[in-house]
Amino acid sequence: MKKKSVAGTILKQLFLILWVFLCLFPLYWMVTMSLKDTNEIFGTNMVGLPTQWLWGNYANAWGSGGRVSNYMLNSVIDTFATLIGTSFLGYMSAYGLLRMRWRGQKAVFTYILMGMMIPMHAALYPLTEILMSLTKTHWALIIPYVAFNIPITILILSGFIANIPYEMEEAACIDGSGIYRTAFTIILPMMVPALITAAIFVFLQVWNELLLASLFTTDSVRTLTVGIKQMSGQYQTDYGSMGAGLVIATLPTLILYMCMSGQVQKSLIAGAVKG
């Protein structure tokens, strides 16, 4: 039995090591690609370390060559505005749907959550009719981003807000607190972990979104994903600078994961436990 247990442990360790390697290799390849020239990337040194460390690829991607700095600013504006909109509207909607009692409450809650089943591609035609006049502004992306992410935000918040005792609101009401004061000064502080969790999910979707950003943005408001995509030329492409742009675009997501992964796990566990 002990030999079988040791053999099983060794196999598990080997599998985990292989899995870590498979997960980290794309990051390694992207970073090394960002420090090579095109000939080396597609030559005999596709996977190895660079023979010459071309840090200038980052300067070229960030500056006039790749304009990653402008694209990143646009992505930050769109993402930040979307987080504000989804957090505010999602919290107010979740509070009204779960803490109040009114006719048709469950039907409306179900109807809103059904929005998660609608693929973004199915809404392209009506969005094109509505948003084409806004393609030179950030609103062309902020409006659909907020609309598509409100259902998932409400779903995440509902698991937390349902666990808050009603006695807290009853006590606030007896003390003369109105509904808005109760929602924002008593319930909202307890919902911060849930709001952080929802914001992380929304951030990952908005920061990496490409479809709507490709259709509804012009050069002045182009986002990071579209900007890096267009760094590929028809006849010639500087793949080293493109790799540098990919590294810059990936850094915010990696930093967010390293800083907030523990918070997300704790929040999801807290929202899943009832009673």
pLDDT score of 84: 95
d(CA 261, CA 175): 39
- Distance CA(127)–CA(135), nearest Å, equals 11
Whether residue 83 contacts residue 202, with contact meaning beta carbons closer than 8 Å, is answered with yes
Query: Residue 275 has what pLDDT?
Result: 41
The answer to whether the pTM exceeds 0.95 is no
pLDDT digits (tens, 9 = 90+) for 184-209: 888 888 888 889 888 988 998 899 88
The pLDDT value recorded for residue 52 is 84
Rg of the chain over Cα atoms, rounded to whole angstroms, equals 24
pLDDT tens digits, 15-54: 999 999 998 898 898 898 888 888 888 877 778 888 888 8
Low-confidence spans in the chain with pLDDT less than 50: 273-275
pLDDT reported for residue 83: 94
> How high is the pLDDT of residue 170?
81
CA distance 211 to 226: 9
pLDDT of residue 82: 95
Q: Name the residue ranges covered by the structural domains of the chain.
A: 66-272
* pLDDT of amino acid 274: 45
Fold of 66-272: MetI-like fold (1.10.3720)
H-type alpha helices, the chain: 2-33, 38-41, 56-62, 68-98, 105-113, 124-131, 139-161, 166-174, 179-182, 188-190, 192-207, 211-215, 224-229, 239-272
